[in-house]
């Protein structure tokens, strides 16, 4: 029986489908481990290709090169006298449990995983490692977790969200530290936002790290050093801009390479316009203002639209004009358009098809509106306290697409929650429908208890019906949504997280409320 006194988990940076680069990184980590006296070394699954190659795994060329590289690595491991876990051919190790996952991180998921692994390691050694930086950020972020436990105690743990390879080494004779069980904390009224202030801050930090890491990886994958964001002075575009700033800082790219574009139209208020400019300038981006009223008016003339009609054409033409500007600017500047739409809007279809619905990468697509408000408030007193006053005013501004003219005093006339209902209700409905698959009657009962004294039963039922009608009828927009990271247990990505026909009927769900 082979025994080990020093073991390690390696999380290499991944280059998707580039076996030669990955092999070189793996060999480098192997040599480092051997030099440090490691006897057992574990890599994440599919370390030679990346775990997110999808249909490329069926390509003969990739399979052949992977097998040849794996054999070369095994031969080098034998020469170094180190046992390596690289693929499915590796046999069991007595007394040591090996866990290897291609796991996209999500909010609270890591703390839950950590506690579960600690409990599972009772009476044994448990070594865990998961896929890391360089995996596809199409639908999730791979944080590169590595942990080593012995008999319920943590021997070693690596820092996550690293853009470089890591090697986690542990001596099996070490004492280790106990790990407390994870007790999830969620507010009954706001399931996406924790009641406990410390837990809430941790979630905000985690979500922001996921968003930032995702954008970093996407920019590096496509070798891009320029981003464009449409800035309205509202909540969604604010968070997207903060993520861009954090990502560019992490990559060592000047913030001047972030082109922040504000595009005032018929409904832009003085408050949001002023906040947009303050944010763009104080964050050190390259600000630009392109008014859209003249271009949209010309378009109305081209298509025969009466500009006095405040209908869907009046509103959507503005959203599509803004998207056209951003897309064309991105071509001219060699950058990507970073999307701003959030999970709540995606659920309701509260976006203009091929307008704000579309981008080249959407960092907010996994963040519901209630959590977004919390994150921007957290940023105002944390990493972006220098613009805290502006951020706090943005959080306090009524949510609006600002597509219809302001009132006589220049104030916001069109308020989203007056039209489609309160976001705190819609996020509650979304969580219970998608996360738990609960029937509408049960969701109504839970909402009545959670929002007692705030909304009456008939009002909750009214907005729940609105949610269901929109959720079903707007699936066609989700079916072709932009790439973006999942951050929590609820995702509406059409690439696996939420697969639903665009033609599905809401009748059965609506009848449950009658």
Mean pLDDT for 14-27 is 97
Q: How far is CA 111 from CA 191, 203, 317, in A?
A: 17, 11, 45
Mean pLDDT for 166-188 is 86
Mean pLDDT for 247-271 is 96
Phi and psi, residue 93, nearest 5°: -120, 120
Residue 453 has pLDDT above 60, yes or no: yes
Alpha helices in 252-336 (DSSP H): 270-282, 293-303, 312-333
In this prediction, residue 336 has a pLDDT band, given cuts at 50, 70 and 90, of very high
Mean pLDDT for 4-32 is 97
The confidence score (pLDDT) of residue 103 equals 87
Residue 433 has pLDDT above 70, yes or no: yes
Mean pLDDT for 333-349 is 97
Select the more confidently predicted residue: 404 or 268.
Answer: 268
How many Å apart are CA 393 and CA 274, to the nearest integer?
Answer: 11
The confidence score (pLDDT) of residue 183 equals 78
Phi and psi, residue 436, nearest 5°: -115, -5
Mean pLDDT for 302-308 is 96
The confidence score (pLDDT) of residue 21 equals 97
CB distance 9 to 129 below 8 Å: yes
Q: Is the dihedral of CA 442, 448, 450, 456 positive or negative?
A: positive
Residue 327 has pLDDT above 60, yes or no: yes
The confidence score (pLDDT) of residue 185 equals 78
CB distance 99 to 110 below 8 Å: no
Alpha helices in 171-223 (DSSP H): 197-221
At 161, list the tokens: 């969200």
Mean pLDDT for 7-32 is 97
CB distance 317 to 293 below 8 Å: no
- 8-state DSSP, 93: B
Residue 303 has pLDDT above 80, yes or no: yes
pLDDT in tens, 180-193: 888 777 568 999 99
At 283, list the tokens: 């964050």
In this prediction, residue 504 has a pLDDT band, given cuts at 50, 70 and 90, of very high
At 191, list the tokens: 């399931």
Nearest CA among 249, 250, 229 for reference residue 239: 229
Which residue is associated with the tokens 């303050």? 278
The confidence score (pLDDT) of residue 2 equals 65
At 175, list the tokens: 């004492």
- pTM, two decimals, is 0.94
The confidence score (pLDDT) of residue 408 equals 67
In this prediction, residue 105 has a pLDDT band, given cuts at 50, 70 and 90, of confident
Residue 108 has pLDDT above 90, yes or no: no
**Residue 474 burial (10 A CB sphere; 0-12, 13-18, 19+):** buried
Which residue is associated with the tokens 């070594």? 127
How many Å apart are CA 11 and CA 25, to the nearest integer?
Answer: 10
At 311, list the tokens: 């209908």
Burial string for 168-202 (b: 16+ CB within 10 Å, else e) reads bbbebeeebeebeebeeebeebbbbbbeeeebbeb
The confidence score (pLDDT) of residue 346 equals 97
Mean pLDDT for 90-98 is 84
Nearest CA among 489, 473, 438 for reference residue 186: 489
Residue 1 has pLDDT above 60, yes or no: no
Considering the chain, what is the average pLDDT of its residues? 94
The 8 Å CB, 24+ separation contacts for 61-70 are 62/17, 62/19, 65/19, 65/20, 66/19, 69/19, 69/20, 69/22, 69/23
Do β-strands 336-339 and 227-230 pair in parallel, antiparallel, or remain unpaired? parallel
Mean pLDDT for 236-258 is 98
Share of the chain above pLDDT 70, in %: 99
pLDDT in tens, 218-242: 999 999 999 999 999 999 999 999 9
At 37, list the tokens: 């006296």
Q: Sheet containing 40-42: give its strands across.
A: 83-85, 40-42, 6-11, 166-171
pLDDT in tens, 354-372: 999 999 999 999 999 999 9
Go through the domains of the chain in sequence order and give each one's CATH number.
6-178 (3.60.110.10), 197-420 (3.40.50.620)
The confidence score (pLDDT) of residue 186 equals 58
Mean pLDDT for 119-132 is 94
Farthest-apart Cα atoms in the chain, separation: 84
The confidence score (pLDDT) of residue 415 equals 85
Q: Concatenate the DSSP letters of all residues of 369-434 into one string.
A: HHHHHHHHHHHHHTTTGGGHHHHHHHHHSPP----S---TTS-----HHHHH--HHHHHHHHIIII
The confidence score (pLDDT) of residue 107 equals 82
The half-sphere exposure of 294 on its side-chain side, counting CA atoms within 13 A, is: 2
Mean pLDDT for 341-366 is 96
How many Å apart are CA 343 and CA 340, to the nearest integer?
Answer: 10
């Amino acid at each position: 029986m082979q025994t080990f006194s020093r073991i390690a988990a390696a999380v290499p940076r991944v280059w998707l489908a580039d076996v030669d680069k990955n092999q070189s990184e793996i060999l480098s980590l192997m040599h480092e481990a051997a030099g440090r006296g490691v006897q057992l070394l574990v890599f994440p699954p599919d370390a030679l290709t990346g775990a997110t190659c999808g249909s490329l795994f069926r390509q003969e060329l990739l399979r052949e090169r992977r097998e040849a590289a794996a054999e070369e690595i095994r031969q080098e491991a034998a020469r170094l006298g180190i046992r390596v876990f690289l693929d499915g051919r590796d046999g069991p190790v007595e007394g040591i449990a090996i866990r290897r996952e291609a796991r996209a991180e999500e909010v609270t998921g890591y703390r839950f995983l950590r506690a579960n692994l600690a409990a599972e390691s009772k009476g044994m050694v448990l070594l865990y490692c998961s896929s890391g930086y360089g995996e596809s950020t199409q639908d999730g972020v791979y944080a590169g977790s590595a942990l080593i436990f012995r008999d319920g105690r943590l021997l070693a743990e690596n820092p996550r969200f690293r853009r470089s390879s890591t090697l986690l080494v542990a001596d099996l004779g070490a004492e280790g530290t106990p790990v407390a069980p994870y007790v999830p904390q969620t507010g009954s009224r706001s399931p996406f936002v924790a009641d406990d202030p410390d837990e809430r801050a941790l979630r905000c930090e985690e979500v922001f790290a996921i968003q930032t890491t995702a954008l970093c990886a996407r920019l590096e994958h496509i070798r891009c050093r320029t981003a464009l964001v449409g800035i309205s002075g509202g909540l969604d575009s604010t968070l997207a801009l903060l993520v861009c700033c954090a990502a560019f800082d992490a990559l060592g790219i000047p913030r001047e390479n972030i082109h922040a574009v504000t595009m005032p139209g018929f409904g832009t208020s003085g408050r949001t316009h002023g906040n947009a400019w303050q944010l763009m300038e104080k964050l050190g981006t390259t600000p630009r203002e392109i008014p859209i009223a003249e271009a949209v008016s010309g378009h109305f003339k081209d298509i025969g639209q009466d500009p006095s009609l405040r209908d869907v054409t009046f509103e959507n033409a503005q959203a599509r004009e803004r998207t056209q500007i951003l897309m064309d600017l991105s071509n001219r500047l060699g950058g990507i358009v970073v999307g701003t739409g959030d999970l709540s809007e995606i659920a309701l279809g509260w976006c203009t098809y091929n307008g704000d619905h579309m981008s080249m990468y959407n960092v907010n697509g996994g963040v519901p509106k209630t959590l977004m408000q919390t994150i921007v408030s957290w940023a105002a007193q944390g990493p972006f306290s220098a613009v805290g006053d502006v951020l706090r005013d943005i959080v306090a501004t009524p949510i609006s697409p600002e597509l219809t003219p302001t009132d006589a005093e220049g104030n916001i006339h069109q308020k989203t929650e007056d039209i489609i209902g309160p976001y705190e209700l819609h996020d509650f409905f979304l969580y219970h429908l998608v996360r738990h698959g609960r029937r509408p009657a049960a969701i109504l009962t839970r909402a009545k208890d959670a929002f007692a004294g705030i909304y009456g039963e008939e009002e909750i039922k009214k907005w729940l019906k609105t949610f269901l009608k929109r959720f079903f009828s707007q699936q066609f927009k989700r079916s072709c949504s932009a790439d973006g990271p999942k951050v929590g247990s609820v995702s509406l990505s059409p690439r696996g997280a939420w697969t639903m026909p665009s033609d599905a009927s809401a009748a059965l769900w609506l009848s449950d409320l009658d």
